[in-house]
Amino acid sequence: MTICRSLPFCLEISCSWVFPWLCFCAFYSSPVRADRILDLKFWSAEQSELALGGLWEFHAQKLLEPGQRQVGSELLLEISQPWRDFQPLARDEARPLERGSYVLFIKGLLPKAGGYAVRIASHQSMTRVVVAPKYAPERSRRTQTQSVFAVFPWMRTFLESQVRLAFSPGAVDEIWMIIVQRWQAAPDAVGAVPRLQLAEKIR
C-alpha cells in the first residue's frame, strides 16, 4: 500500500522536473523560430555555419529595399523552391513571375570583432543580398552577382558565382533583416539556401 500511495507523488515530481528539463534541452540545442524572427542566441557560430532554409516572407514581383517594407507579407515561401510552383503569385496568367524578394529577420547574434557573413550561391539567378538592422534601414549593406552575368547568364553555369556580405551586430538584442532579391530565375531552377557564418571563416 505504501508503494501505491507514493506512486502518484513520484509521477507528480517526475512531471514537474523531467518534462521542463527535456523542453529546455531541446530549446537550447537549436535555433528557435517565433513570430517570424529566427532567434540565434544558442547557435554556436564558432563550431558550424547555419543554413537559413525554410520559410521566408515573399514579396512577388518586387526587388524590396529595407526602407520599403512597411507591412510584412502574409505569404511565407520555401526559399529554395522553384518559381514554377509560384506562378499564380504573379496575379496575371500572361505575366510569369519575373522577380521576387525573400525576407528573414534574425536576432540573438553575439557581437564579434570580425562580424558575421551571409553567403549564397547564385548560379540559378541574378541575386542581390541586402542586410540591415530592422529599425535602422539606412545602415543597410548590399552586394550582388556581377553585372556581366545579367548580360551573359550562361556564364554562371561554369564560373564561380557566389554572393558574400559581411555585417556586424552591435548588441545581442538587435534585430537584423536579411533580404534576398532574385531575378532572371529559370522557372524550374532550385534556389540556393543562404548560409550564415563568422566572417573570419569565409575563404
User: Span 139-164, mean pLDDT?
Assistant: 71
Residue with cell 520555401: 78
Whole-angstrom distance, CA of residue 147 vs CA of residue 37: 32
For the purposes of burial, counting CB atoms within 10 Å of the CB of 57, is it exposed (0-12), middle (13-18) or buried (19 or more)? buried
Q: Which stretch of 74-83, 87-96, 176-185 has the lowest confidence by average pLDDT?
A: 87-96
Q: Is 101 exposed, middle or buried (0-12, 13-18, 19+ CB in 10 A)?
A: buried
Confidence tier at 179 by pLDDT (50, 70, 90): very high
In this prediction, residue 143 has a pLDDT band, given cuts at 50, 70 and 90, of: confident
pLDDT tens per residue across span 29-70: 455 544 578 999 889 888 889 999 989 999 888 899 998 876
Give the helix, strand, coil percentages of the chain, each rounded to 5: 25, 30, 45
Residue 71, all three cell numbers: 507591412
Number of neighbours of residue 154 by Cβ within 10 angstroms: 8
- The DSSP secondary-structure symbol of 122 reads -
Measured in residues, the chain has a length of: 203
CA 77, chain centre distance (Å): 11
The whole-angstrom separation of Cα 157 and Cα 13 is 61
Give the tens place of pLDDT for each residue, 95-136: 678 889 999 999 999 888 889 999 988 777 888 899 999 999
Q: Taking Cα atoms as reference points, which of 127, 106, 115, 99 lies closest to residue 170?
A: 115
With a CB cutoff of 8 Å and minimum separation 6, the contacts of 29 are 42
